[in-house]
């Protein structure tokens, strides 16, 4: 187990052992350990993923399934019991707004509204990692309700000051610098994506520069390395664009040139297994907030690979990054066949012929593994989100839904499959109110 996994496990275990409700006795030693672990997490760049993972696991998993009301006020109860400062409250609340479980969202948002105005000096955020602080500033600024001057003005000024301090320190050499042309030889298991991130967008100023940078790293680009490069380069480019739009923090660094990166990787990565590359897109930095994010990812991937997105890679296993997996599968299901083609995973016998039967353009809802992945996501705490997607699609393609659902087993016991079948079966009984396509469906059942 890695050091980071150890820390997350300790944090999750401490959360299991403390009941934060007001009327119950507390173990002061455990509270101290818990506070130390959380404050320590706030100092690290992966603070959000560590906090979310800790809160989403342990004994709380069963509470999520039961819809426990105790979780709704867990963030504010924890802030009170641990006597968090305003900055610590804001950091914890921001982390939990990023959780895949929406049950934390309401209380976390209330904490942000109350505590953001109380973060009123530079010293109060000294122990929060600069990347996390920047992300908090962007989140607050982008929220219509939180961005009012009364709530966020002081916080935004502090974020700007912190970033400017970093930029001045970097420009004066306080943190050292990396040459774009020197030998940046990596250790065998080091991440090319991380090295490129340290160099910044300047390494993509031209095809020659980016190719030279990759060669100087002296590390083979395999499928896992390439997937990380794709995800992290897009994430950095998107963050730069957001910063420019909102003018929160002026950037003094060259932007990433995605066209240069894609063209060079197209030449350098020929012969890779693109199914594996798609599988390794399961990366903690992958965030799909909208259809435009998805389109940017698919265009970038296809520009590099010269092929459509291999659906077998997207469906190979359940992802650790469940939120991104859900978003990608949802949007892939309605993508043009020229972007995602599910035909490689179905047979001609699965097609249902007859008048009045709609068929998905990319054959997505004929694909049994797609249904299985959605059911797995539902069992992992996304039941409502999965139901919304499947109900909407079932309205357009009821024939394929009832046939596909009848052929798979819901080993997750999420209840989604049984609920969909309950809604669909009355449409294909042959009785009054049945769809005229029921004979064609019955021949497939």
Most confident of 43-47, 92-96, 244-248, 300-304: 300-304
Contact present, 209 and 231 (Cβ < 8 Å): no
- Distance (Å, rounded) from C-alpha 325 to C-alpha 333? 12
pLDDT band per the 50, 70, 90 thresholds, residue 248: low
- Distance (Å, rounded) from C-alpha 223 to C-alpha 277? 5
| DSSP assignment of 212-231 | HHHHHHT----HHHHHHHHH
Q: Give 33-68 pLDDT, tens digit per residue.
A: 888 889 988 988 888 888 888 888 877 767 766 666
Mean pLDDT of 154-181: 54
- The CA radius of gyration of the chain, in Å to the nearest whole number, is 25
- Closest by Cα among 320, 371, 352 to 445: 352
Residues 6+ apart with CB under 8 A from 142: 242, 246
Strand partners, 309: 340
User: What is the CB neighbour count within 10 angstroms for residue 410?
Assistant: 19
- Distance (Å, rounded) from C-alpha 315 to C-alpha 89? 38
- Distance (Å, rounded) from C-alpha 293 to C-alpha 295? 5
Token code pair at residue 139: 């989140």
Q: Give 114-132 pLDDT, tens digit per residue.
A: 998 888 777 778 888 887 8
- The reply to whether the predicted model has a pTM over 0.75 is no
Percent of the chain with pLDDT over 70: 85
Q: For residue 96, what are the CA distances in angstroms to 39, 55, 222, 244, 294?
A: 15, 8, 34, 26, 23
Q: H or E segment at 175?
A: none
Q: For residue 302, what are the CA distances in angstroms to 231, 236, 265, 331, 347?
A: 13, 19, 11, 16, 25
Looking at residue 221, what DSSP letter applies?
-
């Amino acid at each position: 187990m890695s050091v980071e996994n150890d820390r997350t496990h300790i944090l999750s275990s401490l959360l299991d052992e403390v009941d934060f409700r007001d009327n119950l006795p507390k173990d002061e030693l455990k509270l101290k350990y818990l506070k130390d672990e959380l404050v320590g997490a706030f100092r690290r760049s992966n603070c959000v993923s560590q906090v979310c993972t800790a809160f989403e696991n342990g004994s709380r998993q069963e509470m999520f399934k039961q819809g426990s009301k105790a979780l709704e006020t867990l963030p504010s109860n924890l802030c009170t019991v641990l006597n968090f400062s305003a900055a610590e409250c804001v950091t914890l609340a921001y982390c939990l707004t990023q959780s895949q479980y929406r049950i934390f969202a309401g209380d976390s948002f209330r904490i942000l509204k109350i505590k953001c105005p109380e973060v009123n000096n530079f010293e109060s955020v000294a122990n929060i990692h600069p990347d996390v602080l920047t992300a908090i500033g962007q989140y607050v600024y982008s929220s219509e309700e939180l961005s009012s001057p009364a709530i966020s003005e002081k916080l935004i000024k502090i974020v700007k000051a912190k970033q400017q301090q970093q930029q001045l320190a970097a420009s004066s050499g306080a943190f050292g610098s990396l040459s774009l042309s020197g030998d940046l030889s990596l250790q065998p298991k080091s991440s090319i994506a991380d090295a490129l991130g340290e160099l910044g967008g300047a390494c993509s100023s031209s095809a020659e520069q980016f190719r030279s940078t990759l060669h100087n790293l002296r590390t083979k680009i395999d499928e896992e390395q390439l997937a990380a490069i794709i995800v992290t380069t897009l994430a950095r480019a998107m963050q730069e664009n957001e910063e420019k739009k909102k003018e929160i923090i002026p950037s003094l660094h060259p932007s990433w040139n995605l066209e240069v990166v894609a063209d060079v990787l197209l030449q350098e990565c020929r012969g890779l297994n693109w199914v594996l590359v798609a599988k390794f897109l399961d990366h903690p930095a992958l965030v799909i907030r909208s259809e435009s994010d998805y389109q940017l990812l698919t265009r970038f991937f296809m520009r590099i690979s010269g092929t459509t997105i291999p659906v077998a890679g997207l469906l190979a296993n359940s992802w650790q990054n469940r939120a991104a997996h859900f978003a990608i599968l949802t949007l892939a299901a309605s993508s043009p066949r020229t972007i995602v083609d599910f035909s490689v995973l179905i047979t001609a016998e699965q097609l249902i012929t007859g008048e009045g039967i709609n068929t998905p353009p990319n054959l997505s809802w004929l694909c049994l593994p797609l249904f299985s992945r959605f059911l797995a996501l539902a069992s992992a705490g996304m039941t409502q989100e999965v139901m919304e997607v499947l109900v909407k699609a079932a309205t357009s393609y009821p024939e394929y839904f009832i046939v596909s659902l009848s052929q798979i087993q819901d080993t997750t016991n999420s209840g989604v499959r049984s609920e969909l079948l309950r809604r669909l079966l009355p449409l294909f009984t042959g009785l009054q109110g049945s769809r005229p396509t029921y004979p064609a469906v019955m021949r497939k059942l």
